[in-house]
Amino acid sequence: MSHAGWRRKVSKGHFLDVRNLGKYFVLHEGVFRGGRKDLKAVDGVTFHIRRGETLGIVGESGCGKSTLGRTVIRMTEPDFGHVHFDGMDISHATDRELKPLRRRFQMIFQDPYSSLNPRMSVERILEEPLKTHGVDRSERRKRIRALLDAVELPSDAGRRYPHEFSGGQRQRICIARALALNPDFVVADEPVAALDVSVQAQIINLMSDLQHEFNLTYMFIAHDLAVVEHISDRVGVMYLGKLVEVAGSYVLYDEPLHPYTQSLLKAIPVPDPGRQRDRGAEGEVPDPLDPPAACRFHTRCPFAKEICREKEPSFREVRQGHHVACHFAEKFLRDEGSGG
């Protein structure tokens, strides 16, 4: 199938390369729904993911992190920008061109209750993607057994229905379904947010085991910064539709350069009663329909200056592998280097 021209547009580069991706939702307001407003859910986001790594995406509700995840794998159509998946531009492929690729990227959702059809047995749930992609009957049986085994569910689980399982087990079923077609890229949108702490740890462990076993690449979207730090190699922070900082997980949590990342990290309650927390960001996230001009964080930023209200900061590499969108990122970096 290598004859398709669009696949060869970008041959070098990363496993997943996202350039200036955007998604605006149009809202109609007023009595006759004549008023028109753009909700800029994802507004020009650029990042990449290497093969086999996990990129975490964090941000508060409404920052566009879920829309970003869906737009990357074209569950939601992007309005502008490019997504190159393994060298192929999938953001402009037709549905027909996309179908064989669809088996290579899958999604896991937050709510394991609503994402499984209650009237289908686990076996049929797992069989459906295999059928769609033309796997024959005996192969399907084998595959289902292997999947249940991989997510550590008992082999008789196949004949049972979703309501017979607990939240953690249902999430295992969702993971098995996502893995049915042997994908190499999985977008996980808040996969553990609905689970209890002890079960959450089981699912996180399972996801990292599967990553090693099947050489998976993850985009892990969550609001829980501790979970994201734990599972991710690199982490991106979103604020009002923009990516404000991307860095290696250690670096981001040790030396965050964007003031928003700094205040997010200050706000996490740490399970250690001896530690004194600094007070984090003041105020609340502005209305995403009417975000502040220029730097979107300037209304809550303790370091905001004139320039932050006038000019949007560029998203640039401040040091090796560390991208920040803040006018003063270089200054923060220098201050840190000199011990100040």
Partner 1 sequence: MNKNSPILQVEDLRVSFGTRRGTLEAVDGVNLCLDRGEILGLVGESGCGKSVTAQAIMRLIGNSSGEYVAGRILMDGDDLMLKSEREMSRLRGKRMSMIFQDPMSSLNPVYTVGWQIAEVPIIHDNASRGEAHARAVEMLGMVGIPSPEDRVRRYPHEFSGGMRQRTVIGMSLSCKPDLLIADEPTTALDVTIQAQIIDLLLDLRRNLGTAIILITHDLGVVAEMCDRVAIMYSGYIVEQAPVHELFDNPRHPYTKGLLDSLPRAGRRGRLNAIKGRPPDPGNLPEGCRFAPRCPHAFEKCSKFPTIECVGGDHHVACWLEKKSE
For residue 60, give Cα distances in angstroms to 57, 184, 286: 10, 28, 11
To partner 1, the closest distance from the beta carbon of 309 in angstroms equals 20
**Contact status: 284 vs partner 1 (CB under 8 A):** yes
Q: Which parts of 180-328 fold into alpha helices (H)?
A: 197-214, 225-231, 249-254, 259-267, 306-310
**Contact status: 253 vs partner 1 (CB under 8 A):** yes
Q: The dihedral of CA 242, 247, 250, 251: what is its sign?
A: negative
Strand partners, 43: 22
Structure tokens at 99: 């179908």
Q: Which stretch binds partner 1 (CB under 8 A): 36-44, 196-204, 289-297, 303-311?
A: 196-204
Site for partner 1 in 130-169 (CB under 8 A): 166, 168
Q: Which stretch binds partner 1 (CB under 8 A): 3-11, 133-141, 195-203, 330-338?
A: 195-203
Q: Is 45 in contact with 18 (CB distance < 8 Å)?
A: yes
How far apart are the C-alpha atoms of 103 and 265, rounded to whole Å?
Answer: 36
**Contact status: 225 vs partner 1 (CB under 8 A):** yes
Site for partner 1 in 92-131 (CB under 8 A): none
**Contact status: 193 vs partner 1 (CB under 8 A):** no
Nearer to partner 1, 239 or 328 (CB): 239
How far apart are the C-alpha atoms of 161 and 118, rounded to whole Å?
Answer: 7
Q: Which stretch binds partner 1 (CB under 8 A): 79-87, 106-114, 265-273, 321-329?
A: 265-273
Residues of this chain that interact with partner 1 (CB under 8 A) are 60-61, 166, 168, 196-202, 204-205, 208, 223, 225-227, 229-231, 253, 263-264, 266-275, 277, 279-281, 284-285
